[in-house]
Amino acid sequence: MNFQVYNRDICVGDIRVIGVSSSSLLMVGDAETIQLAATFDTPAESLIVGPFVPLSPDIS
């Protein structure tokens, strides 16, 4: 496949952003490759109802 891009005038007025978070990227410029990956886990087991038990301690 032949993919050709012609970048003409880009002139932006205002960019207003509340937050850029969790390995997000806000970029004004060019890049060759951008890889974004995210895992987000909220399974049923993550809702724990019962006597208070601390999470497994950080052993590292």
What minimum distance in Å lies between the beta carbon of 45 and other proteins? 9
Q: Is 57 in the site for other proteins (CB under 8 A)?
A: yes
Residue 44 in the binding site for other proteins (CB under 8 A) = no
Selection from 43, 15, 9 nearest residue 27 by Cα: 15
User: Residue 19, interface with other proteins (CB under 8 A)?
Assistant: yes
Query: Around Cβ 27, how many Cβ atoms within 10 Å?
Result: 7
Contacts with other proteins: how many residues (CB under 8 A)?
57
Label residue 45 left, alpha or beta by phi (over 0 means left) and psi (-120 to 50 means alpha). alpha
Which residues contact other proteins (rule: CB under 8 A)?
1-42, 46-60
